[in-house]
Amino acid sequence: MHTQYVQENEGVYRIGNTRVSLDSIVYLFREGMSAESMVDSYPALTLEQVHGALAFYLGNQKEIDAYLEEGKREAQLLQEQSRKDNADLIAKLQRARHAGFSQRKEGARRAPQQSRSGSPHLMPVSRIADR
């Protein structure tokens, strides 16, 4: 009986009838992860499917490596285009992050002080020197 462990659909390699991409398993394999750990990471897969997918990769390594490199190039182009298309939004978010960082930094300059109710609250460092 022949089982097809990897299927190509619309230019994407998937493992069996799952939504798990072959890419995911190949990258984990390259990192040295065991097949058992891959099953733990992707519960939709069986150990047999992982081994089948790895056998498919090793049997077609040149083609799959080219496919993965093309995917990286496409992702990089999309990221660059997104940065161009969203430059104003990115700048606005960076300004907001910087402003939030400045506020947190200012808050760190404050020291705790006991209030009349006995609970601590923050007082500017400049007022501590006046005490």
Three-state DSSP state, 60: coil
pTM over 0.75: no
| pLDDT tens-digit series, residues 15-45 | 999 999 999 999 999 999 999 999 999 999 9
Which pLDDT does position 90 carry in this prediction? 86
Strands of the chain (E only): list them.
6-9, 12-15, 111-114, 120-123
β-strands 111-114, 12-15 pairing:
unpaired
- CATH number for the domain spanning 49: value is 1.10.10.10
| pLDDT tens-digit series, residues 82-105 | 988 988 888 889 888 888 777 776
> Do the domain assignments include residue 22?
yes
Residue 62 has pLDDT above 80, yes or no: yes
> Do the domain assignments include residue 130?
no
- The domain of 33 spans 6-59
The position carrying tokens 């400049």 is: 126
CA 21/CA 53 separation, integer angstroms: 10
DSSP string, 110-127: -EEEE-TTS-EEEE-HHH
> Do the domain assignments include residue 24?
yes
> Do the domain assignments include residue 29?
yes
